[in-house]
Structure 1
Amino acid sequence: MHNADAETTSPSGNAAGWNFDHWTQGEPASQASRDSTVSHSGSASLKISLPQGDDGKLIQAVPVEPNTWYRLSAWVKTVGIPNAVKTGANLSVIDAMEFVGDIKGDQDWQQIVAWGQTGPEQKEIKIAARLGFYGSLATGTVWFDDISLSQSEPPAGAKIISFMPPPPAPAATTSSSAALVNSVVIGASLAFLLLAWLAIQNRSVLNHRFADLANGTLSWQQTASALTLIAVVIFG
Structure 2
Amino acid sequence: MRKRRFCVLAAALISLLILLLIFVLPSWRKPPEIGENIVKNPSFEKERKGKPTAWEVESWAKAPEAARHTLEEGKAFRGTKFVMIENLIANHAAFTQLIRVEENSIYKIYGWIKTENVGRDNKGANIGIEGKMDNSKDIRGSNGKWKPVELYARTGEDVISFKLMLNLGGYASLNTGKAFFDEIVVKEVENVPGGAHVVSINWEEKGRNSFQSTFSIMGYEITLPKDIWKFFLSAAFVIIAGILFFIYVRRHSTQTGRTL
Q: Which runs of 4+ in 1 moved over 4 A?
A: 164-168
Shift of 1:33: 1.3
Question: Which of 124, 128, 133 is residue 97 of structure 1 equivalent to?
Answer: 133
5+ residue gaps, structure 1, are 169-236
Identity %: 25
Alignment of 1:30-109 (within 5 A): 30-84=67-121, 86-107=122-143, 108-109=145-146
Aligned residue runs from structure 1 range 151-166, under 5 A: 151-152=188-189, 153-164=191-202
Alpha-carbon contact 1:95-1:165 (below 8 Å) kept: no
Question: What TM-score do the two structures reach when normalised by structure 2?
Answer: 0.61
Distance in structure 2 (CA, Å) of the matches to 1:27 and 1:114:
31
Q: Does 1:125 align with 2:192?
A: no
RMSD (CA atoms): 1.6
CA spacing shift, 1:46–1:162, aligned 2, 3 Å: farther
* 1:190 aligned partner: none
Q: Report the equivalent of 2:9.
A: none
Q: Give the residue type in structure 2 aligned to 1:76.
A: I
Distance 1:14 1:167, change over 3 A: closer
Q: Which one is further off, 62-71 or 150-159?
A: 150-159
What is residue 6 of structure 1 aligned with on the other side? 44
Alignment of 1:80-229 (within 5 A): 80-84=117-121, 86-107=122-143, 108-152=145-189, 153-164=191-202, 167=205
Distance 2:109 2:183 in 1: 11
- Return the index of the structure with the highest Cα Rg: 1
User: Cα distance, 1:50 vs. partner?
Assistant: 0.6
Aligned residue pair count: 166
* C-alpha deviation, 1:162, in angstroms: 3.3
Displacement of 1:83 in angstroms is 0.9
Q: Partners of 1:52 and 1:35 in 2: how far apart?
A: 21
What is the TM-score normalised by the length of structure 1?
0.67
Q: Report the residue type matching 1:162 in the other structure.
A: S
- Contact 2:157 / 2:203 at 8 angstroms: preserved in 1? no
Structure 2: stretches of 5+ with no match in the other structure: 1-38, 207-260
**Residues 74, 40 of structure 1: alpha-carbon distance in 2 compared, 3 angstrom cutoff:** same
Distance 2:76 2:188 in 1: 25
The one-letter code sitting in structure 2 at the alignment partner of 1:140 is G
Q: What CA deviation, in whole Å up to 9, does each residue of 1:67-102 have, x standing for no partner?
A: 100000000010000112x21111111112211121
The whole-number CA distance in structure 2 between the counterparts of 1:123 and 1:23 is 26
Q: Is the 8 A contact 2:58 2:96 kept in 1?
A: yes
- Secondary structure in 2 aligned to 1:161? strand
Contact 1:74 1:148 in 2 (8 A): yes
**SS at 1:141 equivalent:** strand
Provide the C-alpha distance between the structure 2 equivalents of 1:32 and 1:9, rounded to a whole number of angstroms. 14
